[in-house]
Amino acid sequence: MTGNITFTMIKPGAVTNEHIGDILKMISEAGFWIAAMKYTKLSQSQAAYFYNVHKDRPFFEGLVEFMTSGPIVVAILEKDNAVADYRRLIGNTDPAKAEPGTIRKLFAESVQRNAVHGSDSDSNARKEADFFFSKSERFDRQGNFLELVPATEVQ
């Protein structure tokens, strides 16, 4: 089976405020299969690499500091239309602008400390998933290894 995936992180803040369970429940109830998951903490270089696209933005330094400040949960989520559907479930980057009932509306503390990450495209989802998980760490709904389309074929 070929998975349609997105990648998420439950960020520091949401973890230390003990919202891991609430957030995973919302993810499951929205129909996402958790294809891979781990509890970890980002190093400075991992956080800087992950958010490299934002390296020239004024918030970059503070973002890296925040993202390395405590443990996070990283996961690959599988579902049809995963990227767009997950962005809808998490809501706007700024919790003040997020729709009621979204993960960020419920659990974000600020624009920076906004509870979760969600990939913004299929190709970034694939890159982010590959950055954290090997082939032997991701599983489909049947419990078999999750086969993904080759990264070179993802637009």
93: closest CA among 57, 123, 56?
57
If the CB atoms of residues 46 and 112 are measured against ligand UDP, the closer one turns out to be 112
* Of residues 6 and 146, the one with the C-beta less far from Mg ion: 6
* Residue 112 contact among ligand UDP, Mg ion, none, beta carbon within 5 to 8 Å by kind: ligand UDP
Site string for ligand UDP, 102-131 (x = CB under 6 A): ---------xx-x--x--x-----------
Site string for ligand UDP, 78-97 (x = CB under 6 A): ---------------x----
Spatial contact of 80 and 86, defined as CB atoms under 8 Å apart: no
Contacts of 65 by beta carbon, 8 Å cutoff, 6+ apart: none
- Asked if residues 86 and 35 have their Cβ atoms less than 8 Å apart, the reply is no
Structural contact between residues 11 and 116, judged by C-beta atoms closer than 8 angstroms: yes
111's contact among Mg ion, ligand UDP, none, with CB below 5 to 8 A by partner kind, is ligand UDP
Binding site for Mg ion (CB under 5 A): 120
Tell me if 78 sits within 8 A of 141, measured CB to CB.
yes
| Least distance CB 59 / ligand UDP (angstroms) | 4
Here the tokens at position 116 are: 């979760």
Which position among 117, 133, 138, 146 bears the catalytic label? 117
Q: Which of ligand UDP, Mg ion, none binds 145 (CB below 5-8 Å, type-dependent)?
A: none
CB-based contact 34:103 (threshold 8 Å): no
Give the three-state DSSP class for 84.
helix
117 is catalytic: yes
Q: Which active-site residues does the annotation give?
A: 117
Kindly list the residues in this chain that would bind ligand UDP in the complex (CB under 6 A): 54, 59, 63, 93, 111-112, 114, 117, 120
